[in-house]
Amino acid sequence: MKKILVIDDDPQIVDLIKSRLKANNYEVITALDGKEGLEKTKEEFPHLIILDIAMPRMDGYTFVLELRKDEKLKGLPVIILTAKDKMKELFGMEGLSHYLIKPFIAYELLKKVKELLENEQFCS
């Protein structure tokens, strides 16, 4: 079973995404800010991360930068899920993250997740 880490400072969003993913047979772990998210990533090695941008303690942008510094983690697929559309260009240039704007549509999120995990499997 693929493991997905959901990082968002809104527990309701975390909850909803968790139940949606679980219903689609993914294992889900959660974090409420970037710092916690980074710790969980290092402990549990998820296959994919769904990430909010505006969060306390550590925001999503810093989280991605930290992730890219770590040789073992830098290839991890990240889906940015945010209310801020102006960050699109910034992450687009990284070339590694995928981007969805809230309010998201569940099947689009699932499609993206599926796509990325299949790719990842292919790579490894």
**Which residues bind to another protein, rule: CB under 8 A?**
10, 12-13, 16-17, 19-20, 23, 83-85, 101-106
1 versus 105: smaller Cβ distance to another protein:
105
Task: Give the pair of three-digit tokens for residue 111.
Answer: 């499609």
Strand order in the sheet with 48-51: 27-31, 3-7, 48-51, 78-82, 97-101
Minimum distance, C-beta of residue 45 to another protein, in the bound complex (Å): 27
Minimum distance, C-beta of residue 101 to another protein, in the bound complex (Å): 7
21 versus 116: smaller Cβ distance to another protein:
21
Beta-sheet pairing, 78-82 with 48-51: parallel
